[in-house]
Structure formats: structure tokens, C-alpha cells
Amino acid sequence: MNSGRSHLATSGGLLGALGLGLILASCGASFQSGVTAPTPTSKPVSVASPSPSSSPTGCVNPATKADYTLAGARTLPGNLQVKDIKTGTGAAAAVGSTVGVSYVGTLSNGTVFDNSKADNAGKPISLTIAAGKVIQGWVEGIPGMRVGGVRELVIPPALGYGCQTPSSKIPVNSTLIFTITLVSVS
């Protein structure tokens, strides 16, 4: 009888491991990848800027809509929601521009996961608006903004971090909401 249990435990363990391997593979991970589930932390985790992930669409359907609707926003391709809170009067940002921005990033439940003023001693963050430099939602959502403007972006998972999140404060496949102030364009 023990040999029967041993056989079942072994085959159940094998099936469990196979199932876990399939789950990891669906997100582009493996047993050796070092990918681990986020762990709660009591210390704030700083995210220097909305940097791109290596695989922004990893395990999300690109047609997935954000789980938050921004009243009065226009929806761009990819389900990116954009709303100008204040229209600036200075130079306009374009793809390839280096910009200075201040921003606050929140999840759809209201949790703040990033605040550039807190992370950068109150100074704007300088970054280039280009694929591979920032998340795709910023590449598509910031161009056309003018210095002095404030814009809100609701970014669906496929245009954000997908399943490759930069910190434990951002669950996989999260909708990201950014309020961005454009300080400079060069």
C-alpha cells in the first residue's frame, strides 16, 4: 500500500511541477529565472522612472482594457486613456525628446506606487520619450504635451509592465494611472 501512495505522491509531484512550469513559461519565466512572487514590504520601494520592462506584453492580451475609466479622457489605440488636466503653452514633447517631468503613479485602487518628487528630492526626472527607454504608455501618451501642461494617462497592462513588474508595489498585469507635469523639453 505504501508503494501505491509513493507512486501517487511522485506522479502528483511531477504533475504539480509540470503545472508550475507551464504557469512560469506563460509569463516568460522558468524554474531557473529567479522570478519570484512579490513579497509584502513595510518599506517604500522607489522606482526611479517608468522604465520599460524587457517584455511589456509578456502574459497579457494586448487588447486588454484598463480596469479604470477616466471620465472625459480620449482613448487612443491600445486602449490608452489620455486627459489633459492643464494645457501647457511651452515647447511640445515628441517621440525622441528628452523631457523633464514630475509625476505620480497610482494603481486603479488608489495605491500610490511611485512619486517622482519623493524619489528625486523634489526635482523633475529627465528621460527620453522612446521605445526601450520608458514604458510604451508614455511613448504614446506624452507626445503633444506642452511644457507647463498636466496630463493624466490610464495605461492598460500591455502598454505598462505586463507581467514584468519593476517592484513589489505593482502587481502583475496592473492598470497604471499617471498624473504627469511636463517641466521641460529638449
- pLDDT value at residue 152: 98
- Claim to verify: residue 25 and residue 102 sit in the same structural domain: no
What is the reported pTM? 0.68
Q: Mean pLDDT across the stretch 66-77?
A: 90
Q: Are residues 25 and 95 in the same domain?
A: no
Residue 42 lies inside a defined structural domain of this protein: no
Asked if 27 and 85 sit in the same domain, the reply is: no
Please give the residue that has the higher pLDDT: either 29 or 100: 100
Residue 133 counted as domain residue: yes
Write the DSSP string, 94-124.
Answer: -TT-EEEEEEEEEETTS-EEEEHHHHTTTPP
Tell whether the model's pLDDT for residue 100 goes beyond 70.
yes
pLDDT number for residue 36: 28
Looking at the structure of the chain, the number of domains it has is 2
Q: For residue 104, give every residue at least 6 positions away whose Cβ sits within 8 Å of its Cβ, in sequence order, or none.
A: 112, 114, 115, 116, 117, 178, 179
Q: Is the pLDDT at 163 greater than 90, yes or no?
A: no
Query: Are 90 and 26 within one domain?
Result: no
Residue 43 lies in a domain: no
Q: Has residue 142 got a pLDDT over 80?
A: yes
Q: How confident is the model at residue 107, as a pLDDT?
A: 96
Same domain, 27 and 95: no
Question: Is 167 found in the same domain as 77?
Answer: yes
Within a domain: 40: no
Do both 69 and 19 map to the same domain? no
The pLDDT of residue 81 is 96
As a whole number, mean pLDDT of residues 96-124 equals 94
Single-letter residue type at 169 = K
Q: pLDDT-based confidence at 63, cuts 50/70/90?
A: low
pLDDT band at 51 (very low <50, low <70, confident <90, very high): low
Residues 22 and 91 both lie in one domain: no
Q: What is the pLDDT of residues 168-182, one digit of tens each?
A: 889 988 999 999 999
CATH number (domain holding residue 142): 3.10.50.40
- 88 and 133 fall within a common domain: yes
Most confident of 5-9, 31-35, 59-63, 124-128: 124-128
Average pLDDT value for residue range 146-155 = 98
**104 has which bridge partners?**
115, 179
Integer CA distances (angstroms), 159 to 37, 124, 163, 168, in order: 21, 23, 11, 19
Residue 45 lies in a domain: no
| Structural domain span for residue 63 | 50-185
